[in-house]
Amino acid sequence: MYIQEEVLLLKVVLPIVLILFVFVSMYMTYEKRKKQR
């Protein structure tokens, strides 16, 4: 039971963390482009 719950949590949390990481990286590149101009 506990192991299944941990796996479910991982499957839910991992995509959210990935999306956040991509969003932050895109925002950083956007800020860099703004500073260059």
Would you list the DSSP string of 1-37? Answer: -HHHHHHHHHHHHHHHHHHHHHHHHHHHHHHHHHHH-
Q: What is the pTM of this model?
A: 0.60
Whole-number pLDDT of residue 35: 87
CA separation for the pair 11, 8 (Å, rounded): 5
The tens place of each residue's pLDDT in the chain, 37 residues long, gives 577 888 998 999 999 999 999 999 999 999 999 988 7
